[in-house]
């Protein structure tokens, strides 16, 4: 198991007050830090694609899922990174709060419209 996958599984939980990645909410646990997560990201070799989530570009959970090897882990990574302040979550709910019915939010999310974005390095 890679250091990143181990970090994600060890330092995430699910809670109502966590980062909303549409399908569930992710909470940072076990004293997760941005520094440790950044180091784990830097050490990771992509499973199916190459990706750098910290490059300032937008990355959705489909791309990150190919990078970590699992879309569920990608969503947990996205929520964890948002919790420790590495990036912003871009979802139908954050982009248009309160304007979209839940069924449309779910459809948009299913099409990959859950992303992260950091500031340009």
pLDDT, residue 13, reads 97
Distance CA 118, CA 121 (A): 8
Instruction: Tell me the sheet residues that pair with 13.
Output: 27
Is the pTM of the predicted complex or chain greater than 0.85?
yes
Q: Which domain holds residue 83?
A: 3-117
pLDDT band at residue 119 under the 50/70/90 scheme:
confident
Query: Can you tell me the distance from the alpha carbon of 21 to that of 72, in angstroms, rounded to the nearest whole number?
Result: 10
- If one counts the domains in the chain, the total is 1
What average pLDDT does range 55-75 have in this prediction?
A: 96
For the packed helices 3-10 and 34-43, what is the interaxial angle rounded to 10 degrees?
A: 150
pLDDT for residue 120: 64
């Amino acid at each position: 198991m890679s250091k990143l996958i181990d970090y994600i599984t060890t330092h995430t939980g699910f809670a109502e007050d966590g980062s909303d990645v549409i399908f569930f909410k992710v909470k940072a646990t076990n004293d997760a830090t941005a520094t440790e997560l950044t180091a784990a990201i830097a050490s990771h070799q992509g499973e199916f694609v190459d990706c750098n989530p910290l490059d300032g570009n937008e990355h959705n959970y489909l791309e990150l899922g190919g990078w970590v090897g699992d879309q569920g882990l990608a969503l947990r990574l996205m929520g964890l990174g948002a919790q420790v302040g590495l990036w912003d979550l871009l979802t139908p709910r954050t982009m248009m709060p309160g304007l979209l019915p839940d069924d449309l939010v779910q459809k948009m999310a299913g099409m990959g419209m859950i992303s992260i974005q950091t500031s340009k390095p």
